[in-house]
Structure formats: C-alpha cells, structure tokens
Amino acid sequence: MRYLVAITGGIGVGKSKVASFFEDFGVPVYYSDTEAKRIMEELPHLKKSILLLLGTEAYLKNGQLNRVYIASEIFKDSKKLKSLNELVHKEVHIDFQTWVTTYDQKSSVPYLMYESALVFENGLESQFNSVLLVTAPEALRIERIKIRDQRSEKEIKRIIMSQMSENDKIKKADFVINNQDLSITLLNSSEIHNKITIML
C-alpha cells in the first residue's frame, strides 16, 4: 500500500504553492479542487445532482461551472455547502483511488500527496498516513485571496468562517508549515519531506 500524505489548510494559506515544492522533490500531487471542477463538469449524474441542488445557474451555457454563482450560494447556506461537499467528495474519492492505483509499489516515487482544503472538515484524516497543515495569518490570507480571486473582504471572511479554525486543525495535524516567507516555507517543506522519507 502506498504511503499517502494529505496537505490541507484554509483558503488563502498557499497550499498549492507548498504542494508544488513537494512536486519538485519528486512527489506526485493530486489537486482535489482542480480535479473536483473537472469531475463536476464531466460526470452527467453529478451535474444533474448539482443542478437539482443549486439550480440552472450553477452552469454556464458552455457547460462550465458558474463558480461565482456557486460560491455565492453555498457560502451563505451551510446546508447547501454540506450537500455539495457530500456529492462532490464521493466522486473525488473514487477518482483519487483510481489515481493512486497508477502508482504501483514498483514505482520509484517516494509517496503520494493529496491536496485539499477540507481534509479535517470532511473527516478524511484517517485515510492518510500523515497530514500536513499549511497555515498563514488571516490578514495575509485575505490579501492573497483579494489579489487571486477579486473577492470582497466580507466575502473572504465569510468563507474563512465556514472552515474549521486553524487552532483546531493544528491539534489534528502531524506536520505544520506557517507559510509567510517562501524561502522559509521551502526549507520547512524540505525538512518534512526528509522526515517522511525516513519513515518509509
């Protein structure tokens, strides 16, 4: 069985950037958010369920997700957020397991990494050998998201509030990286990679 590491953290902490460092170390990374968007657009039965949950505006005329509309719906309605997470998580889990099987025991990669914001929220930590949590100060997270997504500060804070607090996540994590200075983050990532490799 392959050694599996989850990398998680709230919106704007820089999970994808940290994950890219591990890719540079030779670790394949499954980016669950990217794959979820693909699956939500490709699987007819999932698309049908999402339309029933969120309405016809959930998709644009070209069949792509209407991400702005979906975000506005789910982050103001916790029940819709939970329902959407449950629908999508099931399909992402299947897709991830298929992805894992492409790396058999003879493969030279040291371990596999799963990147997701909702590892703890969805109770997935038990499915991984280790969990790496990425954190960052809230003010920095807000500035990053403003630049990346052009969201309002009010909307960003609402999203942050919908996720588990960093303090609660820290208690559950095996490794923690405070992602403020990229040079230090890279050094910390390398140290954690070496620790995991030694454990294998």
Question: How do residues 9-49 score in pLDDT, each as one tens digit?
Answer: 999 999 999 999 999 999 999 999 999 999 999 999 999 99
The answer, yes or no, to whether residue 106 has pLDDT greater than 70, is no
Q: Distance between terminal CA atoms of the chain?
A: 11
Instruction: Note whether 30 and 113 are within 8 A (CB).
Output: yes
Residue 55 has pLDDT above 80, yes or no: yes
Q: 76: pLDDT confidence band, cut at 50, 70 and 90?
A: confident
Has this prediction a pTM greater than 0.85? Answer: yes
Predicted pLDDT at 154: 87
- Between CA 78 and CA 185 the distance in angstroms is 33
Spatial contact of 65 and 37, defined as CB atoms under 8 Å apart: yes
Is residue 136 within 8 A of residue 13, CB to CB? The reply is yes
User: So what's the pLDDT on residue 149?
Assistant: 82
Q: Which domains does the chain have, with CATH numbers?
A: 1-28+107-200 (3.40.50.300), 33-102 (3.40.50.300)
Least confident piece of the model among 35-49, 100-114, 184-198: 100-114
The structure tokens listed for 40 are 């939500």
Q: For 155, list phi and psi in degrees, rounded to 5.
A: -65, -40
Q: Which range among 16-25, 61-70, 97-106, 129-138 shows the weakest confidence by mean pLDDT?
A: 97-106
